[in-house]
Structure 1
Amino acid sequence: MSKRKKWILIISIPVLLIVVLGGGYATYLYKKTEDTVTDSHEDIGRKNKTSALREEKVDPVEDNVSVLFIGVDNSEFRNNQKSRSDALILATFNKEDSSVKLLSIPRDSYVYVPEVNRYTKINHAHFFGGPKATIETVERFLQVPVDYYAKINFEGFIKVVNSLDGIKYDVPYELWESDSNDDKNSIHLTPGYQKLNGEEALALARTRKYDNDIARSKRQREILKKIADKATSASSVFKLGETIDAIGDNMKTNLTFDDMKNFLSYGLDENISMDTIRLDGSGGYMEDGLWYYQVNDESKQEVRTELQNHLDIQHYTESNGSPENNKNNT
């Protein structure tokens, strides 16, 4: 064998091995993800499996859609107990513009909850009726359809971050915070750019003692983006199996595996844009002695209009097709 052929063989064998292993690993990840999503699927019992603000079921391939991300504490998953939502982020996806808008809804927002027919904190909706009641509340509040939801608990969040060997973030201030088991002041962070493990990232995402709900919502969006960037980086390719395991029993969603695959076009589009929007307002105590975040009416209407335009849907009003008046459809 000539020296040239030997070098071709030496180079070709590892390349072929990488291709074979890569293909096998991709197949493994595909099957693993499919099984995880199937096990995590939860139908919340909506008529025709669609929003009260939709005339027919949507398809992420053809339609502009929305996904509500719900963060809850660990107790519900561990002990089958009711819990309040700790984080609510609504994402809307526009196919034509290849764009995504993210809205963090302050957990103490004073809103009408259809499940109990009264006004209270928006995070109470999950306690009263789980994802279904939370979705109805968000739809009534923002007058936009919530097509899908994904709920993950703190343990899942922690495991995902740890499976990626942590994330790097610029901590804005020194903080002492409880961990996921509510051990007081067990998490201590100093200001500056640093690597955070799962517990530390969760503490930073949850803390409200050092600023306000608006700043907290911004941090949550930034931390989620850091996690997404790390998960899709080349350095994390062979950690994805562990990341999928981390999600496992810690997630519930009405997305099917096919639905999730249909969102792939957004992830593959290099020109995709992602904008964050916010609800302005102010906080204070009310007659019941509780602190609430009162969303400014003008800001609420601006956000409603922006989301409705992004989804390219009819501009609903609270007396025109709202979930409150169409509750028989859910």
Structure 2
Amino acid sequence: MNKKKFLTSFVITILAFCMILGGLFAATGGFSIRGISQIFSGMATEKSNILVMGLDKEARRADVIMVVGVDPKRNKVSVLSIPRDTRVEVGSGRYDKINHTMGYKNPEETIINSVEKLTGIPIDYYCEVTFEGFRNFIDILGGVEFDVPVDMHYEDPAQDLYIHVNKGLQVLNGEQAEGVVRFRNTYARADLQRIEVQQDFLMALFEQKLNVKYILKAPAIIEEMYESVNTNLSIRNALRYVGLLGDLTTESLSTDTLPGNPQMINGVSYVVPDKEALSDIVLTEFGYPEE
């Protein structure tokens, strides 16, 4: 792997997996996190927002959708999870489930426009992550200890998805972790309950892997994840945020779920956003609209 490709995948891996999924650590070669950031023209001082999507096997639907706000001035990372059945405007006057937007023409542009209309949060970058990459990431880290809330058993051969994880505290490998964050079939509140489990898993990953010993695993992570991420975040812009990672703690991370209510519209089940409650979250956690 050449140096430019190595650095690019290194930073994308940090931002896409470590920041978004919670394992906030990184290093490569003889450089420290802060040393790498000093190669470029100064640290980032302005906040940015990244739309993160966990894609299914065909990359046509997003099972995980998050807006991640990075605010260096407040030393804060804010995560807003969006249920995949959320009803959003697609184009002008047309509505669909948000996870269907990846099947439209110009999918990244379509979903970004829909998220911006819905939340009022300007999206600066997008990052698409495959679940294969997620599995590999967890395995390289040696698994994550997690208290699985229910027995999870589900099979979908069309997606090559086979979930068999029992309830209880255990160390999850990559395949099991994927099953836990994707499972929703026996939940009374379906996707909304799944998001709660995703956020609990994110916090467990954050707390367990925010550790200097995982620095040595960075090259293996980079090698495994390079083909698993698609993003418009340039190496120069990404590196400006790397220095922030060294100052983050579990208190730096906040997680919220887009508030809404299940509703049938024309025979289709949606989550209809609660716009007033959403506005409160966006203002408090992301700082929009700006004064």
TM-score by length of 2: 0.79
Q: CA deviation at 1:181?
A: 6.6
Partner Cα separation in structure 1 for residue 257 and residue 209 of structure 2: 26
Q: CA deviation at 1:63?
A: 0.6
In structure 2, the partner of 1:318 is none
Match of 2:196 among 218, 242, 246: 218
Match of 2:62 among 82, 85, 91: 85
Which 10-residue stretch deviates more, 271-280 or 148-157? 271-280
In structure 2, the partner of 1:277 is 256
Q: CA deviation at 1:188?
A: 1.9
Q: CA deviation at 1:31?
A: 6.4
Q: Secondary structure at the match of 1:165?
A: coil
Matched AA of 1:293: V
Partner Cα separation in structure 2 for residue 240 and residue 37 of structure 1: 8
How large is the RMSD of aligned CA atoms in angstroms? Answer: 2.9
Match of 1:249 among 216, 222, 227: 227
Match of 1:125 among 78, 94, 101: 101
1:97 aligns with 2:70: no
In structure 2, stretches of 5+ residues that fail to align are 14-41
In structure 2, the partner of 1:177 is 154
Q: CA deviation at 1:233?
A: 2.3
In structure 1, stretches of 5+ residues that fail to align are 1-27, 41-58, 77-82, 315-330
Number of residues of Structure 1 aligned to a counterpart in Structure 2 = 259
Q: CA deviation at 1:32?
A: 6.3
Q: CA deviation at 1:151?
A: 0.7
Whether the 8 Å CA contact 2:143–2:174 is kept in 1: the answer is yes
Q: Secondary structure at the match of 2:218?
A: helix
Partner Cα separation in structure 2 for residue 197 and residue 190 of structure 1: 13
* Greater RCO (Cα-Cα under 8 Å, separation 6 or more): 2
Larger strand percent = 2
Deviations 1:213-268 (A, max 9, x none): 22211222332344445554234333222211221111111112222222223211
Whether the 8 Å CA contact 2:11–2:242 is kept in 1: the answer is no
Q: Secondary structure at the match of 1:151?
A: strand
Q: Secondary structure at the match of 2:258?
A: coil
Deviations 1:283-304 (A, max 9, x none): 13221x2211112232222233
Instruction: Name the CA shift for 1:189/1:253 in 2 (closer, same or farther; >3 Å).
Output: same
1:238 aligns with 2:221: no
Identity of aligned residues (%): 26
Deviations 1:40-87 (A, max 9, x none): 9xxxxxxxxxxxxxxxxxx970211111111111223xxxxxx01111
Q: CA deviation at 1:130?
A: 1.9
Matched AA of 1:62: T
Partner Cα separation in structure 1 for residue 175 and residue 74 of structure 2: 36
